[in-house]
């Protein structure tokens, strides 16, 4: 990777994000009426009898969707491990400062009940899961509503996730939450700004054979955890000007074999920066792992780092497209 280029790209992207994402927004207006509001969430009609007033969110991307819409006054708090990046310089720092950080561990029913939540905004494998007993059905039984992150919607292939292109999932959630909380104009403006920002990057992207092939590396040594068609990296890579080598996987986040990566021979590897293993440690593993020695991205040391919140559904996705796009334009495919 080229550190100076990445810093410049991220600085530009952050400036655009601050402009486009509405970092400073007016207080939330009272929603028209007081419900009920019916939304389509994960292909199901869900009716909310009243406008939620004590929302608990799980994870950084989900929390920042609420903050980007200026809904911090509707939040009872958020749950988030502290390994998801530095929050001090984010566009929504003011919103974070106003909302209680309920737990740096996993979200649980106890955390939700103690916060007196009336709605939980989470996702399958983003807090919701049968194994921990926290599901929309379980919450409904104790009188708490849910909204499921659209990127995480299950698609009927066992527990595979994803029902629409990733950025459309983001726009769907912004639109739905805008309707639920009576901030539809704010949601429409965010979506329009995001589309413009992404369109500006797409306009400069290479075409055809000039598009570098890209692999997303999240974690794992025996087998890599990566992104399929329905997670945010697919749209981020594609709209930045790359060809996502795992676009045929009909899932969001999943595990593949290293032999598939070697066979598809990416020009660039994007590393997901989060967790106990640092981005530098992940990069060093990729560069030293013998089976990858002849892979173009490793051979030419083309490894680009993005933060976790850039790569899950979040209002930082458009800035990630701009940052990765600037890097990919410097890459000449083999």
Global confidence as pTM:
0.89
3-13+206-328: CATH topology is: Rossmann fold (3.40.50)
Phi, psi of 225 (to 5 degrees): -90, 130
Q: Do domains 3-13+206-328 and 21-195 have the same CATH topology?
A: yes
To the nearest 10°, report the CA torsion of 42, 45, 49, 55.
0
Q: Give pLDDT, residue 91.
A: 86
The CATH number of 21-195 is 3.40.50.1980
Give the helix ranges, DSSP H, for the chain. 3-20, 60-68, 93-98, 109-114, 136-140, 166-181, 184-203, 232-240, 258-264, 279-288, 296-299, 308-311, 317-328
pLDDT in tens, the chain (334 residues): 333 334 344 444 444 444 444 444 444 554 445 669 999 999 999 999 999 999 999 999 999 999 999 999 999 999 998 876 667 778 898 999 999 999 999 999 999 999 999 999 999 999 999 999 999 999 999 999 999 999 999 988 888 899 999 999 999 999 999 999 999 999 999 999 999 999 999 999 988 888 999 999 999 999 999 999 999 999 999 999 999 999 999 999 999 999 999 999 999 999 999 988 999 999 999 999 999 999 999 999 999 999 999 999 999 999 999 999 999 999 877 6
Q: For position 141, what pLDDT does the model report? A: 96
User: What integer pLDDT is reported at residue 24 of this predicted model?
Assistant: 45
Residues 269 and 304: beta-carbon distance below 8 Å: yes
The separation between CA 38 and the C-alpha centre of its own chain, rounded to angstroms, equals: 25
313 and 284 Cβ atoms separated by less than 8 Å: no
Q: ∠ at Cα 69 (96, 185), nearest 5°?
A: 160
Q: Where are the domains of the chain?
A: 3-13+206-328, 21-195
Stretch (H or E) spanning 263:
helix 258-264
């Amino acid at each position: 990777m080229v550190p100076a280029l990445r810093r410049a790209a991220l600085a530009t992207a952050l400036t655009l994000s601050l402009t486009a994402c509405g970092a400073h927004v007016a207080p939330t207006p009272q929603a028209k009426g007081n419900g009920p509001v019916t939304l389509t969430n994960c292909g199901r009609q869900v009716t909310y009898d009243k406008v939620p007033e004590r929302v608990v969110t799980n994870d950084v991307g989900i929390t920042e969707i609420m903050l980007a819409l200026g809904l911090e006054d509707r939040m009872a708090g958020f749950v988030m491990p502290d390994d998801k990046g530095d929050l001090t310089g984010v566009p929504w720092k003011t919103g974070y400062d106003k909302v209680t950080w309920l737990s740096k561990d996993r979200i649980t029913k106890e955390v939700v009940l103690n916060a007196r939540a009336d709605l939980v905004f989470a996702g399958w494998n983003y807090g919701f899961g049968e194994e921990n007993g926290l599901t929309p059905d379980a919450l409904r039984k104790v009188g708490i509503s849910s909204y499921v992150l659209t990127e995480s919607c299950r698609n009927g292939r066992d527990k595979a996730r994803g029902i629409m292109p990733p950025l459309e999932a983001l726009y769907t959630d912004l639109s739905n939450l805008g309707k639920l909380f009576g901030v539809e104009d704010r949601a429409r403006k965010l979506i329009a700004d995001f589309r413009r920002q992404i369109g500006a990057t797409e306009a400069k992207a290479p075409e055809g054979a000039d598009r570098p092939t890209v692999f997303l590396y999240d974690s794992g040594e025996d087998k890599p955890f990566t992104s399929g068609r329905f997670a945010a990296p697919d749209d981020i890579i594609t709209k930045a000007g790359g060809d996502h080598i795992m676009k045929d996987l009909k899932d969001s986040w999943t595990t593949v074999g290293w032999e598939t990566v070697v066979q598809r021979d990416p020009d660039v590897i994007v590393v997901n920066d989060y967790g106990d293993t640092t981005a530098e440690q992940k990069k060093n593993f990729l560069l030293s792992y013998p089976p990858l020695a002849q892979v173009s991205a490793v051979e030419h040391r083309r490894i680009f780092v993005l933060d976790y919140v850039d790569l899950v559904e979040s209002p930082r996705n458009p800035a990630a497209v701009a940052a990765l796009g600037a890097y990919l334009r410097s890459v000449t495919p083999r």
